[in-house]
Structure formats: C-alpha cells, structure tokens
Amino acid sequence: MLYYKLRNGKIATESTLHDAFEICTGNTYDFDMNAYLKWLYPLLGNSIIKVMHEEEGGIEDLIRGGLFA
C-alpha cells in the first residue's frame, strides 16, 4: 500500500485517494486507471509532497500520531 504525505502534514492512504477520485469524477480507479493518473499527477508536488510505501520506516509512528487525513 502507498501512503501520501499531504502539504498540511497529514497522511492519506491509497484507498482514500481512490475514494476521492470516485467522488470527484464519478469513475472508479479500477474502471479507468488512465483517468485516475491524469487526476492524481497534478496533485503530486502541490497537495501531495511525498509518496511512501508501507515498507518504508515510520508509517506505524504516523498512524499512532493521528496524522491520517
């Protein structure tokens, strides 16, 4: 699973972004991956400042710290 560090310091999960995409566009991630990527890429570097894999250290600390969006 991927985790996204947001500009406001909170963390969003991959599934949270999938849900946001569906709410914003009416499409599902599984149905139209190209549309999802076109929606996601402008967020990288703006709202999303870091992408972390679950195997990257510190994710558990972020969860315990209540930083999830």
Q: Is the pTM of this model over 0.85?
A: no
What integer pLDDT is reported at residue 60 of this predicted model?
61
What integer pLDDT is reported at residue 63 of this predicted model?
60
What integer pLDDT is reported at residue 31 of this predicted model?
81
H/E stretch holding 25 reads helix 14-25
What integer pLDDT is reported at residue 21 of this predicted model?
92
What integer pLDDT is reported at residue 2 of this predicted model?
85
Per residue in 12-46, pLDDT (tens digit) is: 888 889 999 999 999 888 888 889 889 988 988 88
